[in-house]
Structure 1
Amino acid sequence: MTLFRQLIIFTFVLFLVLFTGIWFAKLETTRAFLLDQLESHAQDTATSLALSVTQHMTDREMVIIESMINAVFDRGYYMVVRLTDVHGEVLTERVMDVTIESVPPWFIRWIDLETPEADAHVMAGWHQAGFLYVKSHPGYAYKTLWQSVVRTTLLFLVCGAVVLIAGGFGLRLLLRPLVMVERQADAICRKNYEIQESIPWTKEFRRVVEVMNRMTYKVKEMFEEQVAQAESLRERAYTDPVTGLGNRRYFESQVTSRLDGPDTPTKGILLLVKLNDLDRLNKDKGFQAGDDFLRRVAQLLQQTMGQNASCVLARLSGGDFGIFLPDAPAFDAATIAKHIAADLGRLAAEEISVTDNIAYVGAATYTASVSLGRMLSEADLALSMARQTGPNGWNVRSITEETDAMPLGQQKWKEVLEQSLAERKFSHDAQPVVTMSDRNKLLHLEVFSRIVLEGNQLLSAGVFMSLAERLSLVSSIDRIAIEEVMKLDRSLLPTESVAVNVSPASLQDEAFRAWITLALKNLPKSAPRLIFEFSEYSAVQNLELVRDFSRIARDNGHATGLDHYGQSFSNLGYLKSMRPDYVKIDRAYTGELKERDNDSRFYIASLCSVAHSIDVLVIAEGVETEQQVQVLKELNVDAIQGYLVARPSPIRDMVRKS
């Protein structure tokens, strides 16, 4: 029971006790007063009537005497008026039955009024001629007493209602600081640090609020220090201190994880950008000028590649930059290399270098499985050939293994995507995510979409999603995947939750947002609980959009998650803002867990600490060895996903036969 209700009940009980005491005191006082009045009235009537009758007793004028008695009796305030002689013989008498109107019988039985009696001597000259006896009628007293009780009760009821209403508002006002303290404590649990600006005037409440405010400041500082520590660790391990881009270690781990991951796209582009005469610039103008030049180049490259969510951009060493586009079609390589070379060439006008020949760009494309070393070699050869083309030159080399089934140009890709959408030629595989404590316990299934080409060849989403976004077809692809999941019966699945990857580009489509909102509201109870996964980079770039959609999903009993967490350099503070149900650590960090002491280990530990403090689960993806599992368990990771658990398989094979 709340304190407010307890205080209301306590106030009501006190008021009831007070009312009962006053009510009985009022009843007894009124009763005593009325009895005194009746007694006095009876005695006064007997005395005055006896005196009036005395002058007619000598001649025994009974007619006049009876008229006088009748006149008094007819007023209705008496039960008996009797005149007797000295021997007790009744000379005249008037009697009225006791009838009390407008008063409940139970009240009469409960309140006993002893009816007062009075008598007086009647004289005839100097001799006593008889007695006059008067007994008052209690009806008037009962009626007066009942009316007094009713008025008193109504008055107290009205006062009680006013006291309870006013007291309720007053107590709410007085207890508001406690409500705010409760809200403040709950906000701390959700890692929202609210400070009470309005300090209550009540001394005790003021102390509580001031202490809560100080504690909120301290907890906020602790959380921010924890986030800053994790961010600092990752920056030192994976960030180039001059440009703020990823360093060579970051580049190699990211590229390797993309090439070795499940459903790896069999196409992509790797570009090397080599600045010209950087050593000469450092010598002639100083290292500060060289650093400024590097930062300007990094800024330009970020602007050029900023629209590609899957792009990996890093400074490899000195004046060398690496760019990896894991799902870009080969026909884009020349356009991208030419565009970068032209943009860098325009830096000559800013006079921040010692030559107009700013840089060379070499690109390597692949359409088959390839290693990072092979791509770097091909890109390096392309750089050498770019030098021969002249200042700010560029060149593209290809690593190919042609097949007739693969689309070759953008127009062909568009036709394939549109045909696949029209005929719903998509295959949906699922991979389980299991808890770290019990690998037999499924947390959820993650669904992957693939295009089915002629000859039943499958193309993974990594191959076509970037082009689908460019052609504004991604929302249609996401809708098909979600519709297929919605058709499943959760009772026939090994788990009730199914994760579906959604592109924030789909949320930018108003028609898609309207459809998914209505679909979630009308989703049958037999459908699985949906988890909408967004890649970390895309979610941060579309923060408000993803956050608004997350609220819609949670309001309908579903969830959201962040995929490939750590792939970009977004701040850990975004977790507190977005509040996903879980984050999946990018496989690049999982793949580095080969030694007990490494930066990936420390970063994952920091991430788990921050995430768990705001009730966000941490899942490691790309787990392939027992050694990784042991390390992840020590780091308090909640769940794992990868080939060690199970490979992706058609989700229809996971549905039990009803």
Structure 2
Amino acid sequence: MAHKWWRKLPGISLRTQLHLLIVLVALFTFSFSLYISVQSTQNYLNTQMKSHAQDAATSLGLSMSAYMDDPDLVIAQTMVSAIFDSGYYAELEFKTAKGEVKIKRQNPIEYDEVPQWFVRLFPLSPPFQSSEVNNGWMVAGVLSIQSNPGIAYKTLWQQARQSFYSIALITLFSAFFIQLIVYAVLKPLRRIEVQAQEVGKKNFLQQDKLPFTTDLRSVVKAMNTMVANIQRSFKSLSLQADELKVKVFTDMLTGLGNRRLLEQRFAAEKTEQKAHDLRLHIGMMSLHSLTEVHQRQGFEAADQYILLAVKEFKEMLEAMTNNQLFRLSGSDFIFLSHLGADELEQQVQQLSTKLKLLDSVFYPKGFASVALMEVEPEDNLHHCLSSLDSAIIQRAQQPDLPVMVKDESMLIKPEGRMAWHAVIKDLIQNQNFELWAQPVINADKSVEYIETFVRFYYLHSQLSTAETYAMAEQQGLSLQLDQQVIHFILQQVQNEPDHIYAINLSLGAVSSATFLQWLEKELQLLAGKVRLVFEVSEYSILRAPEETKALMNVIKQNRCKVCIERFGSSMATFKYLQGLNVDYVKIDGAYVSVLNDADNQFFIKTLCQISHGIGIKVLAPHIECEQTMDSCFAAGVNAVQGNWLLAPQKVNAQVKKSVLTQPFINLELVHSPRN
């Protein structure tokens, strides 16, 4: 029982323990030394008073012997008075041989400035010392003298004070120098602690300065070796994953995703579209003259043609967020976007105009054409590519045709910027949000955390989440919208400490210093009432790396966790993980949807090895069947999420308690992992 109680106590640092030990030893040494010093002086004074009284009794007794014939002892009394009046004696008494007291003197004992507690603590007991007084050969009487302890107390008190100050000074200097020695010894330990903490933050620091102490030097060398091994393993696995991604999912000439990655990404985006009612657009750019350039001018000219077109395509996409570019075949390029239809159509139209300006005699059939369409829930990739290809052919013959193939939506769509501004202001002011939630499930059926997100409503109709955020960005209201959404979610979950809840952060929020300050205040107000995970997309991290690090530091300081979502969606190297203090990575759904493929399985295993090697848990979304879930767990994934387990659940005032407080939110899982 005592052992369990002891284990629950908060730990004490080694530095504090050593400092406490030094203070206790110093106090003990000081107290013991002072006591010994005062006690030694006390014993010395007792001995001195005894000797002093004995000498006085012997000397005075001899002097009085010559005057014992006088019955009144007048001269003897005069001699006694001369000695006793000096004040060094407390009491003097002369008794005759018959026991008659002939002479008796007493002095009051005065302690002057000596405190009473000191007198009680160190008592002085001067004894009566006696000497026989003879009259010839006969004993005339006995002379007894006692020394005055008042003077001895004063001497003892002065000596005690001097000892106190001198021993205290020596103790302080000794403790100070010992503290310096302890600091010098503990400084390497502090560096080891910092090094270990930095490894936990995925920073692989080496200690160049070795401590003087041989034991600590061995520990530092061992730590350096361990960190170097972790870093080497991380770099090796990252390089292996990068090479595999380039080999399997990348077009070698352009560095863009290939058709295989497009198919997987399209399937993942369709899953997201169904789960969250997102708007998805797909666009195509076709290089009409590639075959002619290749035949007439050779491979190098054809490659330059492709790279120039890709450059123009990328410049258009860089002006927008959440876009993905792929090379479908030799002359065709595809991009996927969640951007609003109006803004996206405007950007694609500008690209079309720019491509038209590149037409020249070097490109007999024109430089390139573009087309755009909205992906409906029932559309598959083949249908979309066929529609875009037909539109490209038509636009090559009739350049004035609109770039948008079709523009249909079941969602409400405000017309014009002023209408959108009013809608978004209404959302911010009235919080016309719906809270939805979906759990992330571990292999043992426990909930790792519950992801929360909102859907927007205006005039009782649902708005496109992606388009709403895009228009808020255009209207300069994205920061206010992000703050209201997060504040709304925090209000819903702040009294639900049983689970961990995840909140998604947009690129605008991640890159805003104002949002960072606001979020820090919100988290401080929560004061740990609820456990939170903040999900940040890989795209946001790569676009705003420094701002992301600052955001993660604030999140971690407030005892929350960080998850990188859509991990692996970009073509960037995985080395960017180094230095990021994250707890989870959520693999991009494009890799999860086709785990029956051997290359995908190996890729996921490598991602898991990279993440686990630096203490990061791996999550897999878009679980649509048991086989996919089993493959994820077999590859090393820690937890999974998807409609097969449990589709996103609406949370409202009536069912909030049942949704957020059940072992699995709202209800039992439709399916669950097998133990």
Tell me the TM-score normalised to structure 2 length.
0.80
1:306 aligns with 2:309: no
> 1:7/1:618 Cα in 2 relative to 1: closer, same or farther (>3 Å)?
closer
Larger deviation, residues 13-22 vs 458-467: 13-22
Give, in angstroms, the shift of residue 270 of structure 1. 1.0
Segments of 5+ residues of structure 1 without an aligned counterpart are none
Assess if the C-alpha contact under 8 Å between 1:583 and 1:618 holds in 2: yes
Give, in angstroms, the shift of residue 559 of structure 1. 4.2
Give, in angstroms, the shift of residue 249 of structure 1. 1.4
Give, in angstroms, the shift of residue 631 of structure 1. 0.8
Q: Deviations over 1:455-477 (max 9, x none)?
A: x5433313443333233333344
Larger deviation, residues 27-36 vs 246-255: 27-36
Paired residue for 1:484? Answer: 488
* 1:330-345 alignment, distance < 5 Å: 332-333=344-345, 335-339=347-351, 342=354, 345=357
Give, in angstroms, the shift of residue 313 of structure 1. 0.8
Q: How many residues align?
A: 641
Q: Deviations over 1:158-190 (max 9, x none)?
A: 543443354334323322212222232233233
What letter corresponds to residue 363 of structure 1 in structure 2? A
Separation (CA, whole Å) in 2 of partners of 1:117 and 1:90: 18
Separation (CA, whole Å) in 2 of partners of 1:14 and 1:364: 81
Larger deviation, residues 305-314 vs 111-120: 111-120
Separation (CA, whole Å) in 2 of partners of 1:431 and 1:109: 74
> 1:174/1:356 Cα in 2 relative to 1: closer, same or farther (>3 Å)?
farther
Give, in angstroms, the shift of residue 123 of structure 1. 7.2
Paired residue for 1:384? Answer: 393
Assess if the C-alpha contact under 8 Å between 1:579 and 1:616 holds in 2: no
Assess if the C-alpha contact under 8 Å between 1:301 and 1:340 holds in 2: no
Q: Deviations over 1:345-396 (max 9, x none)?
A: 5598xxxx9659772123132374433222222332343345446xxx7965
Paired residue for 1:365? Answer: 373
> 1:202/1:617 Cα in 2 relative to 1: closer, same or farther (>3 Å)?
closer
* 1:180-329 alignment, distance < 5 Å: 180-261=191-272, 262=274, 263=276, 265=278, 268-274=281-287, 276-277=289-290, 280=293, 284=297, 287=300, 291=303, 294-329=306-341
Q: Secondary structure at the match of 2:492?
A: coil
Paired residue for 1:76? Answer: 87
What letter corresponds to residue 381 of structure 1 in structure 2? S
1:117 aligns with 2:129: yes
Q: Secondary structure at the match of 1:642?
A: coil
Find 2:384's aligned residue among 364, 371, 375: 375
Give, in angstroms, the shift of residue 575 of structure 1. 3.5
> 1:128/1:108 Cα in 2 relative to 1: closer, same or farther (>3 Å)?
farther
What letter corresponds to residue 492 of structure 2 in structure 1? L
What letter corresponds to residue 271 of structure 1 in structure 2? M
Give, in angstroms, the shift of residue 655 of structure 1. 1.6
Separation (CA, whole Å) in 1 of partners of 2:164 and 2:555: 56
Separation (CA, whole Å) in 2 of partners of 1:228 and 1:394: 47
Paired residue for 1:458? Answer: 462
Paired residue for 2:477? Answer: 473
Paired residue for 2:145? Answer: 135
* 1:374-413 alignment, distance < 5 Å: 374-388=383-397, 396=402, 398-400=404-406, 402=408, 407=413, 410-411=416-417
Larger deviation, residues 143-152 vs 245-254: 143-152
Separation (CA, whole Å) in 2 of partners of 1:88 and 1:546: 108
Give, in angstroms, the shift of residue 628 of structure 1. 0.9
Give, in angstroms, the shift of residue 236 of structure 1. 1.9
Give, in angstroms, the shift of residue 273 of structure 1. 3.0
Q: Secondary structure at the match of 1:623?
A: coil
Give, in angstroms, the shift of residue 647 of structure 1. 3.0
Q: Deviations over 1:208-234 (max 9, x none)?
A: 223322332222222222222222222
Give, in angstroms, the shift of residue 405 of structure 1. 7.1
Give, in angstroms, the shift of residue 442 of structure 1. 6.8
> 1:272/1:9 Cα in 2 relative to 1: closer, same or farther (>3 Å)?
closer
Assess if the C-alpha contact under 8 Å between 2:388 and 2:405 holds in 1: no
Paired residue for 1:626? Answer: 626
> 1:103/1:115 Cα in 2 relative to 1: closer, same or farther (>3 Å)?
farther
Q: Secondary structure at the match of 1:136?
A: strand
Larger deviation, residues 102-111 vs 195-204: 102-111
1:449 aligns with 2:450: no
Q: Deviations over 1:298-335 (max 9, x none)?
A: 33432221122221212233343323334441674365
Separation (CA, whole Å) in 1 of partners of 2:485 and 2:611: 29
Separation (CA, whole Å) in 1 of partners of 2:643 and 2:246: 29
Tell me the TM-score normalised to structure 1 length.
0.81
Give, in angstroms, the shift of residue 250 of structure 1. 1.6
1:414 aligns with 2:420: yes
Paired residue for 2:190? Answer: 179
> 1:293/1:59 Cα in 2 relative to 1: closer, same or farther (>3 Å)?
same
Separation (CA, whole Å) in 2 of partners of 1:167 and 1:571: 50
Paired residue for 1:655? Answer: 656
Higher relative contact order (CA 8 A, sep 6+): 2
Find 1:588's aligned residue among 590, 601, 607: 590
* 1:432-443 alignment, distance < 5 Å: 432-439=438-445, 441=447, 443=449
Assess if the C-alpha contact under 8 Å between 1:43 and 1:117 holds in 2: yes
Assess if the C-alpha contact under 8 Å between 2:202 and 2:577 holds in 1: no
